[in-house]
Each structure stands twice: as structure tokens, then as C-alpha cells.
Chains A and B, each alone.
Chain A
Amino acid sequence: MAKDMMSGFALYQPTDLKNALSLITKFGSDGWILAGGYDSLDWFKDRIKRPKAVIDLSGITGLRDVRETNNGIEIGALTTLTEIHQNSLIKQKFNLLSEAAGKVASPQIRNYGTIGGNVCQDTRCWYYRYGLDCYRAGGNTCYADTPQGLNREHCLFNADRCVAVSPSDTAPALIALEAEMIVVNQTGEQAIAAEDFFIGPGIDIERMTVLKPGDVLTTIRIPNTWAGAQFYFEKVADRNTWDFALVNIASAMKIKDNVIIEIRMACGGVECVPKRLTVVENVVRGNPRDEETAQLAANSASRGATPLNQNHFKIPLMENLVKRAIREA
């Protein structure tokens, strides 16, 4: 078990949020929040991340369920991806999220991995995962953005030293559904739009989300705004299942008399954050849902892309996914 050797840490298994928050605050950047552990253990095993304390949230009651509220639903951050995929309320109102959750990895990972962990997971850039001292790891170079760099899976938009992408399949769906992320720390609670929850390297190169040490994502709220809309989710990966997306797309549309009244669309795998396609939304809003609109949307989607040596293919891939989202939802 060569690889299966983690450095030591103290494990805490609080059963209520109050205790969890005081532990997380106490340990600060020496602490690590654990949900399902399916991203975390990878880091511990490579001994790249060596927290002194691991705070397991999985024993906290109340963080693992899906509830209907007056104006939407609330999903506890510890709800597993399988539970989200199969939940009848989510399927009925926000099938987009159910589909996205069902496309993550494998049954094993969906059965234990949580929605909170899925949106908070770190990027998959292999140089970084391998433990190299790149910008994201606090160093002063990017190994992917070099003439020899293996950057087939890296970004098209808004790179800032780091060219890594957001790997989550559920994140674009949450942005399309206008979800709100409820973040709690010892000083209080804050609701953050899903779109603003993810941050790029220009804001902080070492974090993928707004969460700072001491913060816990407790709940994801989805308002009824898009309930029952026409949804489209598609993920393209090298392998049909089990693999991370090269590009994925999530969209919600409201159509009346074949005219697109309202639309929200987000795309993963093309930027460090899941990219909201505001340009596409503006181009198609008010247009008939037809081939011409789909083509217009596709052309506008990739505007401003700056591909790397090996990822030019992501441009037509992204364009085609946008086209299908409009045409086939």
C-alpha cells in the first residue's frame, strides 16, 4: 500500500454545526473540512496537503436532506450526489440538477461524494495535483501554460497565470438555476449567488471558491424561478461515463409560442470558474427557438476564447454544446 499512506492528523467528528464551527475556527488553515472525502483523501494520500486536524461534517444532523420551502427547495450540503440524482422533488422541479449529479464519476463516488464537496473540490490540473510548486500551489510558474505543457484539458477564457478549469458537473447546473449558496461561519450567515461563489485566479489563485478558513457551506437554495423550465445538460468527456468533463453545459429556458422568453446558461471545463454564458443569453432572448438562433448562439459562445496549444478542440465542442442546448432542450 505504497500510496495509501497519509500523514497523521487528529480527526474530529462533531455532531452539531456549532461545535464544527468552533473547531474549524480554532484550527484555521491547519484544519480541513471533510464531507465524503472523495477529493480530500486524494490530497492526503499524495501527502501534498497535510492538515493537522480533519473536521468531518458527515455526522452533523440536518445537513443532509432536501426540503421544500415556500419559494423553492433547500439542499443540505452533505446530501450525496446519488440522493440528489434520485430525489423526486429535484427531478420534478429542477431535473437539470438531477441529471448533472447523475453524470458525475461512478456510482461509488456519487454514493459517498456530497454536493457540497462537489462544488468545493479543487481543480484537476495534473501538475498541481502532482504536487508541483506552480502558481496555484504558491510558486511562481505555471507548468501547463508552456510550449511543452500538457494543456488539453485546460481553459479557454480569463486565465490569469493559472489556466486550470473548474471540474464540477453540478456547478454549471446550480448557476443556471440561480441557486444561492449559504455560507456560515462564527460571525454569521451569508447567502452568495452560485455565480459569485466560484472565483478565478485573478481574485485568489490559491482558492476555487469564496470560502475562507472558518467558512462552511451548509445549504444550497434553489428558488422556484426556473422550476419546470426546459432544461438541457450535456457532458462530453474522453470516456462516456466515469470521466471528468472536457466541457459540460447546463441551460434553463422558458419558451412561449416557440420564442425563447428567458434563458440562463453555464458551461464548465472552459474557465477556472463555471462560465455563465451571458453573451449567449442576450443573443437568443426574444428570438424564435430555431436553427438560426442556435447557430447565432454558438457563434457568440466562444467569442474571446484564447486557446492553449492543445485545447483548440474545446472551441467547436463548446459551440456545438450551446447549439444543442438551444435546439434540443
Chain B
Amino acid sequence: MAKTHVSTTINNEPVEFLCEPNQTLLDCLRNELQMTGTKEGCSTGDCGACSVTVNGRLVCSCLVFGVEAEGQNIGTIEGIGKAENLHVIQQKFLEHAALQCGICTPGLIVATEALLAENPDPTEAEARYYLAGNLCRCTGYDKIIRAVMDSAAEMRGTA
């Protein structure tokens, strides 16, 4: 099968890659582009570990084809912060010990960023509803929600 050439933008950088039509965006990110920050949990849309944004919309990259990235603007965890320069949300996840195994963490951070871009001042219930598609088997969610609410306050400058 002929590979398809895809030109896209990832974290505001132009990127090109080749893929088969039946490869998911998640597969392309991880295996064609070696951007392994985005994780695979279930591969069926249930867990949100693979969350990325497409033109600012939060989606599960395991259910999107790689070729659908053509001409779009993709946002991944790699664009949010760097080890030496963490994003506020990443810092707060550390401070609140909002992770254990870490598989859900990149997806949760991408989802939290999308939440706060849409709604900078969410109530706890709103935050929980928005993050309902991001499952965590380790933390019991409470610390995650603390980290999210604290990030929101910090980002609004009211911490």
C-alpha cells in the first residue's frame, strides 16, 4: 500500500511524515515521529491517555487517523512544557503528587490545558466533568483535581 504524505503543524512547528491510511494519529506521533509523550492506554476512546488537541479541540488520538492531521494544528504534551521549564499545570501535578505510574498524566495535562483555555475559572464540578474522559487507575482523582484547581488559580493570578 502506498504511504501517504502528511504535512501538518505540531506544537506550532511544521512537520511532515509518511504513514499508511490505517495508522492512527497516536501511532504516527509515537512510531513515525518518536514523540512518545502521548500515551496509549485502551486504544478505544475510553481512557484519554492519548489526548491531544486538533485546532484547539481536545480529542483522543487513538481514534483519529494520521492522515487526518493534514493541514491541521496538533497540540501534544511536548508542546506544553519542557523538563527544564515546566508549565504551571505540570508543576502543580508534581506539587500535589497527582500522579503515580504516570500513564494518564500527559493526557490529563493536555486535557487540563484545554479546560483552562475554555474556562479559566472552573468550579470543581466543572473540572471533574471536563476531565471525565481521562481515566486514572492510581491516584483516585482527588489529587488530580487539587492540582487542576490550583493550576487554574495560579494561571488566573489569584493563588
Binding site for B on A (CB under 8 A): 1, 3-4, 6-11, 13, 36-38, 41-42, 44-45, 54, 56, 58, 82, 105-109, 111-112, 240-242
Contact = CB atoms under 8 A, between A and B. Distances in A.
B133 A106 contact: yes
Interface stretch (B62-70, B83-91, B93-101): B62-70
B1 interface: yes
B45 A111 contact: no
Interface of B: 1, 4, 20-22, 24, 26-27, 30-31, 40, 43-46, 48, 51, 54, 57-60, 62-65, 67-68, 111, 114, 128-130, 132-134
Contact of A111 (B27, B30, B58, B67): B58
A301 B139 CA distance: 42
A31 to B, nearest CB: 14
15 contacts: A4-B24, A7-B22, A9-B21, A11-B4, A11-B22, A11-B65, A11-B67, A41-B62, A41-B63, A106-B132, A107-B58, A107-B133, A108-B60, A108-B111, A111-B58
A148 to B, nearest CB: 25
A107 B21 contact: no
B10 to A, nearest CB: 18
Contacts of A42: 44-45, 63
Contacts, number: 90
A298 to B, nearest CB: 29
B26 A107 contact: no
Contacts of B27: 1, 4
Given A10-B21, A111-B58, A242-B133, A38 B45 contact: yes
Tell me the dominant secondary structure on chain A's binding face.
loop
A226 B121 CA distance: 35
Nearest to A42: B44
B60 A54 contact: no
B132 A241 contact: yes
Nearest to B107: A108
A4 B43 contact: yes
A60 to B, nearest CB: 14
A107 B63 contact: no
B63 A242 contact: no
B22 A6 contact: yes
Leading 10 A-B pairs by shortest Cβ distance: A106-B133, A11-B21, A241-B132, A6-B22, A111-B57, A242-B132, A108-B133, A41-B63, A108-B60, A112-B59
A42 B40 CA distance: 14
B131 to A, nearest CB: 8
A109 B43 contact: no
Contact of B57 (A10, A11, A106, A112): A112
A4 B45 contact: no
Contacts of B111: 107-108
A109 B63 CA distance: 9
